[in-house]
Structure 1
Amino acid sequence: MLPSTYLPSVNRLAPPSDPSLEERYGSLHIRLLYHFEHDFYHHTKSLHPGLKDMLALFMNVGFATPYLMDELLAYSAAHKSILGQQTSQLYLSEATRLQTRALTLYNSASPQISKDTCLPMFLFSSLLSQHVIYNVSSNVHNGLGPILDGLTNSTIIHRGLVAIAKASWPMFSEQVQQQLIRSCQRDYMPIPSSADSRGECEVLLSRLNATDMKPESIAVLRSAVENLQDRFDAICTDSSHAMWAAVQDWLVAIPAGYLELLNQRRPEALVVLSHFAVLLYRVAEQWFVGDLGIRLIRLINSHLGPAWEDWLEWPNRATMEQL
């Protein structure tokens, strides 16, 4: 399977636009490049170890890889859109346009992983994995449906990132490997035994066991919940970096059957998602996440109604300060 098949088609990610691909960059894009290298760094350096060196790597590789440069600028425009209301829509529209163009270039190239392509492919998917979460977050006012579709799509991106990373790692130079290790340090400990678990999902597991769903559906939901509990248990710090790692890990690990139940809008699957939203709530200081977690919990509460209040008790309590 080609690595590019992990990435969404342009139409699935955003409405296509029709700019000529011969038109490349103008003064706006120079400003976005400056923002990525300077302002973005100052806004986010406290959350990301080794960020300065990573930004330089992104830019150096981007200058030689058009699809990466387009996504880099799209990512910068998305970040800039959250900084000022007067220009927010301008930058948001440009972020969508550039991301669409980046995906068009990537899908047209359909690159195979090799020593020459592995690094730009990895960097591209790294940016895209965060950018698609921002797309979900910025779409939160359009209701629950678009959020669920966006999160489902994001699992494809995150799984693609992991697949590309695993295949590419042996091909990276030692210098690049060390740079990535420094920037991806995780405040994680080995997953503890069940006796050491804090039990965030314990009540939910008990409720699932008592439902009248088909056994195979219960098994799928239990698998998703048990993995989510592992993510909670493995976090040994309140740092946003560790929380985001837990979010990514769960998006990669959830079974396909759970996504099917989620697409069917099964209440039990939505309750599981509300527990995951607590992780999103705890990583709100990541610019591309923002208030996605708390809004998702509110939307699920509204969608399910009073009949499911008991099932939603823990997510509501865990985010009580903002509900």
Structure 2
Amino acid sequence: MPRKAHTKSRNGCIVCKRRHVKCDESYPTCSNCRDANRHCEYQVSKAVFRHSSLNNFTRTSTPLQQPSPISPQVITEHDTEDDSYSPVNMHHMNLFHFLTTETLPSLHTHELIDISPTDILKHCLPVPYLMNEFLGFAALHKSIVGGEAHMRESYRFQAMNFQTHALSIYNAEPAVLNAETCIAAFLFSSVLGAHLLCDTLIYRGDDTLNKFLERFVQYIHIHRGIRTVVGGHWDDLSQSPIGRSFVISRAVLGDQPATFGPTLTKLLGLIQSAKLGESLTKSYKLAIGNLQSIMNVCEVSTSTSISTPASVSAYGAVIAWPVMVPIEYVDALGMRRPEALVILAYYAALLHLYQQLWMFGDGGRFLIESICDSLGVEWGDWLEWPMKILHDDNNSLELISDS
């Protein structure tokens, strides 16, 4: 008996295409996969928010003519591979809606981006790599805060696809950075960094410290690499609409603090007394100084008695630490040096204090517990403050002020 033909579903899931069955394109899981309890995956279209084909049209002086009816043959022969004419993908529109109603407002509420969601979209729409990354970030957000387990897995898959697509566009078509394009590149660097950090903290795989550290060090190198490209255009950024917050952040976080609080003074003393050598000790001191700068920002953000003309978001400061530290510290972390792990535990304490942000989750707790288990009781004196933060039932940010 001949096999019954089926109507192709162009935007159907990968599983249905492979099985040659019609897909109803339900998102994030189609009905076929749901009924069969299969993992449903969708391919990210090449057409995701590319430049409009209208930019390729040229105006002529030819008078307008009455359009003739389009025959079915013309429609059939149209180049269906042209991304400019691809049908709207409702899965992408679903994420775009979540981006505008949930993800961007969340970033704005926590002062992670100092421009309005509307202005962010103005920068995203003409820049394919930036739009793809923001959609990927929205998919990651949705994988964390909403839906059943199988839906979260599907959204995370979408997040990885969009991020990969964004990076491939960015690498294939390097932007010529100037006063206009550097804003998009800076936003890309910022959101990509937050995306990578969040994915590393939340989705830890087998929950082993070694696996986490591999991904964490890889994330730092990728983020630093993108950030370096933008680094030559700080002056242009300072004159842009995001310039005010950028100038303040760089001034507050860029310089080493003049003094350390009692908590980090003790940690630095332990490191100096360990006689680790001048170079390594210096890199550790710089990383601890970066921690102190962030703790100063956190203290200002939680204090009612400290008045400043302008402040930096505590959440943004915490996210910034991995790209602030010297590369020598990152190398020491990659080698699993115990002192580097201790410093990371202090950073994890800040992640834990701000765990209400969906990007951090329980990542701080996991890190502190894993590092303490790895190093053992002989490092208890070094890890006193992170453990104190972890065991504080009130999860009080005031503990930073006492540090």
TM-score (norm 1): 0.80
- Which residue, 57, 64, 67 being the options, matches 2:119? 57
In structure 2, the residue matched to 1:200 is: 263
Q: 1:230 to 1:20 in 2, by over 3 A?
A: closer
SS of 1:140's partner is coil
SS of 1:290's partner is coil
| Cα deviation code 1:18-67 (max 9, x no counterpart) | 9576454611110110111113355555323876x532223222221111
SS of 1:284's partner is coil
Provide the rounded CA distance (Å) in 2 between the counterparts of 1:306 and 1:173: 48
Q: 1:299 to 1:104 in 2, by over 3 A?
A: same
Aligned counterparts, 1:61-80, within 5 A: 61-80=123-142
SS of 2:299's partner is coil
Q: 1:64 to 1:259 in 2, by over 3 A?
A: same
Question: Is 2:175 the counterpart of 1:111?
Answer: yes
Once the two structures are TM-superposed, the CA of residue 119 in structure 1 deviates from its matched residue by: 2.4
Aligned counterparts, 1:281-300, within 5 A: 281-300=352-371
Query: 2:300 corresponds to which letter in structure 1?
Result: T
- Which residue, 265, 279, 284 being the options, matches 1:221? 284
* Kept after mapping to 1: 8 A contact 2:99/2:138: yes
Q: 1:121 to 1:26 in 2, by over 3 A?
A: same
Provide the rounded CA distance (Å) in 2 between the counterparts of 1:48 and 1:55: 12
SS of 2:340's partner is helix
- Which residue, 110, 125, 137 being the options, matches 1:47? 110
Provide the rounded CA distance (Å) in 1 between the counterparts of 2:157 and 2:363: 20
Q: What is the identity percentage for the equivalent residue pairs of Structure 1 and Structure 2?
A: 27
Aligned counterparts, 1:152-301, within 5 A: 152-160=217-225, 163=228, 166-171=231-236, 177-179=240-242, 181=244, 193-194=258-259, 197-238=260-301, 242-301=313-372
* Kept after mapping to 1: 8 A contact 2:318/2:350: yes
Once the two structures are TM-superposed, the CA of residue 145 in structure 1 deviates from its matched residue by: 2.2
The alignment's C-alpha RMSD in Å is 3.3
Q: Answer with 313-322 or 145-154: which moved more.
A: 145-154
Q: 1:289 to 1:180 in 2, by over 3 A?
A: farther
In structure 2, the residue matched to 1:3 is: none
Provide the rounded CA distance (Å) in 2 between the counterparts of 1:62 and 1:161: 17
SS of 1:136's partner is helix
In structure 2, the residue matched to 1:7 is: none
* Kept after mapping to 1: 8 A contact 2:133/2:162: yes
Q: 1:184 to 1:286 in 2, by over 3 A?
A: farther
Q: 1:105 to 1:254 in 2, by over 3 A?
A: same
Provide the rounded CA distance (Å) in 2 between the counterparts of 1:262 and 1:110: 31
SS of 1:311's partner is coil
Provide the rounded CA distance (Å) in 1 between the counterparts of 2:113 and 2:293: 27
In structure 1, the residue matched to 2:100 is: 37
Q: 1:249 to 1:70 in 2, by over 3 A?
A: closer
* Kept after mapping to 2: 8 A contact 1:137/1:289: yes
Q: Which consecutive residues of structure 2, in runs of 5 or more, have no partner in the other structure?
A: 1-40, 49-87, 303-310, 396-403
* Kept after mapping to 1: 8 A contact 2:112/2:315: no
The aligned length equals 302
Larger Rg: 2
Tell me which protein shows more helix as a share of its residues. Answer: 1
Using CA pairs below 8 Å that are at least 6 residues apart, which structure has the higher relative contact order? 1
Provide the rounded CA distance (Å) in 2 between the counterparts of 1:183 and 1:38: 25
* Kept after mapping to 2: 8 A contact 1:297/1:315: yes
Once the two structures are TM-superposed, the CA of residue 95 in structure 1 deviates from its matched residue by: 0.3
Once the two structures are TM-superposed, the CA of residue 136 in structure 1 deviates from its matched residue by: 0.8
Q: 1:144 to 1:163 in 2, by over 3 A?
A: same
Provide the rounded CA distance (Å) in 1 between the counterparts of 2:262 and 2:389: 13
In structure 2, the residue matched to 1:11 is: none
Query: 1:100 corresponds to which letter in structure 2?
Result: T
Q: Which consecutive residues of structure 1, in runs of 5 or more, have no partner in the other structure?
A: 1-16
Query: 1:320 corresponds to which letter in structure 2?
Result: H
Q: 1:185 to 1:88 in 2, by over 3 A?
A: farther
Question: Is 2:198 the counterpart of 1:127?
Answer: no
- Which residue, 143, 146, 170 being the options, matches 1:81? 143
Q: 1:151 to 1:22 in 2, by over 3 A?
A: closer
* Kept after mapping to 1: 8 A contact 2:108/2:116: no
Once the two structures are TM-superposed, the CA of residue 109 in structure 1 deviates from its matched residue by: 1.0
| Cα deviation code 1:286-305 (max 9, x no counterpart) | 22122211211111112112
* Kept after mapping to 1: 8 A contact 2:42/2:158: no
Query: 1:291 corresponds to which letter in structure 2?
Result: D
Provide the rounded CA distance (Å) in 2 between the counterparts of 1:116 and 1:50: 18
* Kept after mapping to 2: 8 A contact 1:137/1:292: yes
